């Protein structure tokens, strides 16, 4: 092994990159770790004028089938030619002599990923929020317009019965990760099962389409230059993407769900405005959106619940996970509100 539990032997990585990527110069490598979320680890690698981004699973315990870097690499190979906002992948490696976990390296996009605040270079005009909102919606609509068959993406998902599988699958995940009683959750689950809508025309589904997975042009906030984190992508119901995007598109009146947002600042579209613009650009009937918004809140609640459960049983030591049960309870309450149309 080239690494201990929580370290990477960057000298080994440097030599590997210089060997397998022809344009990389024989110089020393500089490594910068991107802000760490709850999922995969991402690093900026710089060797001379060359730049690349390395993605790998987190350290420690990894649930079976989670953090599949090979699948994400294969998806990017197919998506990038038809949707260049997806980064171009360079190389995939699963050799344990290079790194303890499988990883891939992709191109470095130039711009800003917005998380907690708007870059000062964009200025303070409320128009910035509107431009960002428009750019995000256009990028989502553009993704859902891609002919996945022409793009040879049929093998990344099974669209028939997609939504039903998703709903029942996420409910099973909750049962496995349950730590305490949560108000409203049983009635939300029952409603989700009993009201599964007929599925529309299927499309590529990103499955984590949110602002901090998107890069904006360094000078123009109205232009998306990158969409990241394709690990969960599949072929299915595009409204699941829309529902999740709306969940992450926070408003001032939202309960605290432990996620940092900037979309509650002046100028940004409201959830309803986001939805209306998507409907206008896509031409899709969004009359069932309350279902997808409810499911979106539920899914994110279960993602956080799984992290809290791992902390509770000692599999994860990250103390950020200790209080996630509070965010889970608030997300389920918002899911309950969403099914009655309160949040749109």
CATH code of residue 99: 3.30.200.20
Residues 91 and 116 in one domain: no
Same domain, 216 and 275: yes
Q: Residues 268, 130: contact at Cβ < 8 Å? A: yes
Provide the token pair at 341.
């149309």
17 and 130 assigned to the same domain: no
pLDDT at 258: 83
In 25-176, at which residue ranges do the beta strands (DSSP E only) sit? Answer: 29-33, 41-47, 50-56, 89-93, 103-107, 112-113
Please give the residue range of the domain that contains residue 66: 10-107
pLDDT, tens digit, for every residue of 84-124?
999 999 999 999 999 999 999 999 999 999 988 999 999 98
Pairing of strands 89-93, 50-56: unpaired
- Describe the crossing of helices 185-194 and 162-177 by its angle, rounded to 10 degrees: 160
Q: Which helix (H) or strand (E) holds 204?
A: strand 203-205
Q: What is the pLDDT of residue 7?
A: 83
Residue 223 DSSP SS3: coil
DSSP 180: S
Does any domain span residue 261? yes
Position 37 scores a pLDDT of 56
Same domain, yes or no: 51 and 159? no
pTM of the model as a whole = 0.91
CA pair distance 250, 254, nearest whole angstrom: 7
Containing H/E element for 22? none
Do 64 and 171 lie in a common domain? no
pLDDT under 50: residue ranges of the chain: 1-5
What is the per-residue DSSP string for 224-242?
A: EEEE---TT-EEE-HHHHH
Looking at residue 65, what is its pLDDT? Answer: 57
- When divided into structural domains, the chain yields a total of 2
Question: For 196-238, what is each residue's pLDDT tens digit?
Answer: 998 778 999 999 999 999 999 999 999 999 999 998 999 999 9
């Amino acid at each position: 092994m080239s690494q201990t539990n929580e370290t990477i032997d960057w000298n080994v990585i440097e030599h590997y990159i210089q060997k397998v990527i022809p344009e990389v110069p024989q110089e020393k490598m500089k490594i910068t770790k991107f802000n760490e979320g709850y999922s995969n680890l991402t690093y900026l690698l710089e060797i001379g004028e060359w730049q690349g981004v390395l993605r790998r699973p987190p350290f420690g315990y990894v649930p079976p089938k989670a953090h599949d870097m090979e699948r994400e690499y294969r998806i990017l190979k197919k998506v990038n030619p038809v949707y260049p906002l997806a980064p171009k992948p360079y190389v995939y490696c699963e050799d344990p002599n290079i790194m303890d976990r499988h990883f891939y390296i992709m191109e470095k996009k130039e711009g800003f990923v917005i998380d907690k605040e708007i870059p000062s270079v964009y200025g303070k005009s409320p128009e910035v929020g509107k431009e960002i909102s428009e750019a995000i919606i256009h990028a989502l609509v553009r993704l859902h317009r891609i002919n996945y068959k022409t793009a040879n993406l049929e093998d990344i998902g099974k669209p028939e019965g997609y939504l039903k599988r998703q709903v029942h699958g996420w409910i099973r995940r909750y049962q496995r990760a349950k730590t305490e009683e949560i108000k409203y959750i049983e009635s939300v689950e029952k409603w989700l099962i009993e009201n599964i809508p007929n599925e529309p025309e299927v499309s590529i589904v990103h499955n984590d389409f949110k602002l901090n997975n998107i890069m904006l042009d360094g000078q123009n906030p109205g232009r998306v230059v990158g969409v990241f984190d394709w690990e969960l992508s599949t072929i299915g119901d595009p409204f699941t993407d829309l529902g999740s995007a709306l969940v992450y598109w926070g408003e001032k009146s939202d309960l605290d769900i432990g996620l940092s947002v900037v979309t509650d600042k002046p100028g940004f579209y409201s959830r309803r405005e986001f939805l209306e613009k998507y409907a206008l650009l896509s031409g899709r009937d969004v009359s069932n959106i309350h279902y997808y918004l409810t499911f979106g809140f539920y899914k994110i609640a279960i993602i956080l619940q799984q992290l809290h459960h791992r902390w509770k049983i000692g599999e994860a030591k990250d103390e950020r996970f200790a209080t996630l049960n509070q965010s889970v309870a608030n997300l389920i309450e918002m899911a309950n509100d969403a099914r009655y149309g309160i949040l749109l």
